[in-house]
Structure formats: C-alpha cells, structure tokens
Amino acid sequence: MAVSTHLQEFHGLPVFDFPDATTAVELPAADRTAWRIAIEAWDSKETWSEAFARFLAAVETTAVRALIVGVWGEGDEGSDTVVAELIAARESFPALRAIFLGDIIYEENEISWIHQCDVTPLLENYPRLEEFGVRGGEDLSFPPVTHQRLKSLTVETGGLGADVVRGIGASDFPDLETLDLWLGTSWYGATATVADLEPFLSGARLPKLTSLGLCNSEIQDQIAVAVAAAPVVAQLHTLDLSMGTLGDEGAEALLTGQPLTHLRKLDLHHHFIGPAMLARLTAALEPAGVVVDLTDAETEEDEEDSRFRRYTAVAE
C-alpha cells in the first residue's frame, strides 16, 4: 500500500533522509538525491522549521532538484508553516524541479488526518517546478492556478473535496503529462461527482496528458462509465482506475466503450470484478499488448447491506 512506506524514489532520484541534529552522517551530493525533511511524529526534539534551517545551512541548495516534506508537526497541525518556509527560501533553490508535500505513512498519521492548506502558492513561487505531489485532504485547498512547466501532479487523499477537484480542473497546466487523483470516500470528505471530473475527461485543457489516474473512489463504476466515452482516453498511454470499488458494471463499460487497445497499461488493481468479467478483460486487451493490472481482487463484505459491500484501498 502506498501509504505504508515512505517514498523510496522521487523525480527519478533515490530518497535520502536529512538526519536529525544528533546524527552525524556523510551527506550525498545535493543533486544526486531527493531530500526528505521530516521530524519525529511523536517525540521530536526540534520543529520542522528548525530542521529546515539546518538543511539550508548544511546542503548546497542551489543544486537541489527534489524535496520531500514528511511529518512537520502534531497530527492536527496544518502545512501552512511549511509552505511559507519553502516560499521564503525559493531563491535558494534555482534548480528545484519537484516537491512532495506530506510523505507521511499511516504509522505517523492516517491519511485523512493529515491537515494541509492552500498549496497553490508553491506552484506560483516555483515556476520551474515539473513535479508536484501532496498527500492529505483535510483543509486542502487548490484554487485555480496557472503553471507553464508542471508535468506531473499527484493528490493522494482518503476523501477529496469537490472544491479541490474543481480548482484543479479549472487550472491551466499546458505541459501536464501525468495526473493522479485519489478521490476517496464520502466518510472522509469526498464530495466530487463525475460531473466535476469533466475537465479531465474532455482533455481540452490538458493537451499533453498521457497518464490519467482517477483512483481510490467509492464511485469507481460511475467513473469507468464516464471514462469509457471520454475524449481524453484517445491521447493516453496509461489509464489508472485502481484502488476503488470497481465492479462488473464499470468493467463492462470499459469493454464496450471506446477502444482501449492503444493503451500501454490499464491499472485496475484492488477491484470487485467477477471471474467471468476478468477473463473478458484479459482476452480483449492483453493480446493487443496492453498490460492489465487485475491484482488484489476483493470480495464484497456484506451481501445484505450494499452500503458496506465494497471499500476503497485507502480511506482513513
């Protein structure tokens, strides 16, 4: 599961944990690693701001290409201070091309308890950024923004608000190639409908998009039905509808909708598709060279109450 381990690689670079103040280790070359800056989840001897100040003093920041922010404070503490610190230090990072905000695993804080803030000032203040990721949907804000160079955007949540989805959809990302949204469940704040996904499904505002993930959703069948007729699919090489409640209805829509044989990969892992439909998917797509991920087949837990039959891979 993506939230059970910290990132091991980011922006094509191995991750290095910047050590705490009591640990003496040889630091790697600034441009050869993605630097992860975090404090202890429960018993830190310093604040995240203090750790970041040590980082600025110890590392040749002008060569840093990727930054990862881990735990920054108590569980209910928002990321606004972190965002402000990164913006204040922007002149120190002329080579920075990637930021991941919230590389926090469930042992440190549940994904739906991670408090974020308006993260778009990072995009506004780092115009050369190419990759941006954020984990945690509580208090997350994403008003429409323009960024000319962003190639990859990832938002991982257990429940993504419709306002955030609409803000991303109304943003101008002419260079965006990869978009991954973990939509989540209504129990943890998911309010987006299929209609809110229209800007991504039409592809009109994302001319270079080749990889689309609309994942981890309790309305995964509805999304699959919409995707089956979505214009954007023709320009994709990767389609990811994994981690959600996808069943036979959504799979049938994918099979009978527009052709998917041009895809390199169709990711449907963690699903509720029956054996007969799984066989049909495999027979229809794999001979065309499509890699179809159908791992993590799940079964419906409660056959008496449909509200509790299916579950997303990541929620709390």
Query: Tens digits of per-residue pLDDT, 238-270?
Result: 999 999 999 999 999 999 999 999 999 999 999
Model-level pTM? 0.96
Judge whether 153 and 132 are in contact, CB under 8 Å. Answer: yes
| The 3-state secondary structure of 197-238, one letter per residue | HHHHHHCCCCCCCCEEEEEEECCHHHHHHHHCCCHHHHHCCE
Q: Given a cut of 60, is residue 302 above it in pLDDT?
A: no
pLDDT digits (tens, 9 = 90+) for 114-147: 999 999 999 999 999 999 999 999 999 999 999 9
Query: Tokens at residue 227, please?
Result: 């995707």
